[in-house]
Structure 1
């Protein structure tokens, strides 16, 4: 197998050699069991920020993949064995039977976090992780995932049920409201993305979501503009945002999400 992506121009130039090598190593470990490698997250939504964004990748394998392949894959892709040029790599492996059906569960075979700005994490047990991260990622993947190898995202990843996505968004907003381990600008922009999904039923890039919310909620405009300005910086030098303003905004986000959940329950 060559180190050529299915569509190199579907990903930012800064990531092309890295993702090509990632696909090559994944195929080397998984062989004929590999169905797809798909870019999700900021790459899929067209908002990758070099020096700030992670690289999010979903891998789909068939159910007969040997269990020993999962730790082998984690070792092959771990930074710095494979130097990650982004802030980090968040890679999730699913078996194709699980990925092909709507689910509100985490459901992964392997969850790998690695890279220069990410704490190293290898999990083979989905019970170790809150499900909402994975439900949202699969929803984004179904809508906008960019195939790096194999079958298209919509062919291998089912759209989670809307009720499950809203439950995941609720949990995400609670996580970002608590604030632990999250940059202030990212908490605000994730809140904007959540509101826009509730309003439109579609995932938007964080910056586009913030611009949309700022256009119709003038009272939050200064905070959103400050968050957008900070998001242009590398993560290490992101700006401090007024804690009370962030808290008030995320409380407003939670109310909008709860309203949407209530409306959905009545339909």
Structure 2
């Protein structure tokens, strides 16, 4: 079995050998059940930053895999057995039938987090996880998923219903408002990405979304510029941001999401 990517030049050079091996090991474990392997997140949106970004991968298979197969896949991809050069690997496996329909559920077969800067996590039960992470990721995948192997993203990943997506975005803002386990710069930039989606209906890379919001919202401009400067640094060197200003910004973001949802309902 050859180790190739569908479009290697679309993948950052630092990740190419690693993602080739991810695809190879996924094909080895899943065999003929494998439909697609897709890069999502910062790689798909053209904003991967080495030393800062995770690499996010979505896998689609043509039937629910037995628990043993899912555990074998997690073991095959776990760091450091397969050393991850990014901050971490966040890999989610979906059954083709689930992925092909709009859903507000988590719905995964396997959720794997592994890597040098990520807490290890393996879940085979989607009820263990808040659904919003997966709804947003599937929307990004539908819009911009980069094919590493198999069928195109739009052929296998449905766009979630807009109401479900706005509910997920609101839950994401609530999660980031709490702050626990999240860097301050990432909380702010994810808020910018949420606002940009509400304004445009399209997902944008965090940095470009922050630049767009900073251009239109003068009162938050100093905070957003500080978040962007911090985001240029490795995760381990991220700078602190004023807690009250971060909280006020995320309250404003939540209000924008709520306004968008209310406008949709009224329309």
TM category, shorter: over 0.9
Contact 1:33 / 1:64 at 8 angstroms: preserved in 2? no
In 1, Cα distance between the equivalents of 2:12 and 2:165? 28
Whether 2:192 is the aligned partner of 1:188: answer no
Whether 2:151 is the aligned partner of 1:112: answer no
SS in structure 1 of the partner of residue 118 of structure 2: coil
Whether 2:43 is the aligned partner of 1:7: answer no
In 1, Cα distance between the equivalents of 2:89 and 2:107? 19
The CA deviation at 1:141 is: 0.1
The CA deviation at 1:66 is: 3.4
List aligned pairs for 1:156-167, cutoff 5 A: 156-167=156-167
Partner residue, 2:74: 74
SS in structure 2 of the partner of residue 204 of structure 1: coil
Partner residue, 1:260: 260
List aligned pairs for 1:96-135, cutoff 5 A: 96-135=96-135
List aligned pairs for 1:1-267, cutoff 5 A: 1-63=1-63, 65-267=65-267
SS in structure 2 of the partner of residue 52 of structure 1: coil
SS in structure 1 of the partner of residue 149 of structure 2: strand
The CA deviation at 1:229 is: 0.3
TM-score normalised to structure 1 length: 0.99
Contact 1:189 / 1:207 at 8 angstroms: preserved in 2? yes
1:224-243 deviation per Cα after TM superposition (whole angstroms, max 9, x unaligned): 00000000000001000001
SS in structure 1 of the partner of residue 67 of structure 2: coil
SS in structure 2 of the partner of residue 68 of structure 1: helix
In 2, Cα distance between the equivalents of 1:44 and 1:264? 28
In 1, Cα distance between the equivalents of 2:107 and 2:55? 20
Contact 2:25 / 2:77 at 8 angstroms: preserved in 1? yes
1:157-179 deviation per Cα after TM superposition (whole angstroms, max 9, x unaligned): 00001111100000000000000
SS in structure 2 of the partner of residue 86 of structure 1: coil
Structure 1 unaligned regions, length at least 5? none
Count of aligned positions:
267
- RMSD over aligned Cα, in angstroms? 0.6
The CA deviation at 1:64 is: 5.3
Q: Which runs of 4+ in 1 moved over 2 A?
A: 64-67
Structure 2 unaligned regions, length at least 5? none
In 2, Cα distance between the equivalents of 1:53 and 1:18? 14
Contact 1:41 / 1:137 at 8 angstroms: preserved in 2? yes
Contact 2:83 / 2:115 at 8 angstroms: preserved in 1? yes
In 2, Cα distance between the equivalents of 1:85 and 1:200? 33
In 2, Cα distance between the equivalents of 1:7 and 1:256? 37
The CA deviation at 1:65 is: 3.3
TM-score normalised to structure 2 length: 0.99
SS in structure 2 of the partner of residue 108 of structure 1: coil
Contact 1:15 / 1:85 at 8 angstroms: preserved in 2? yes
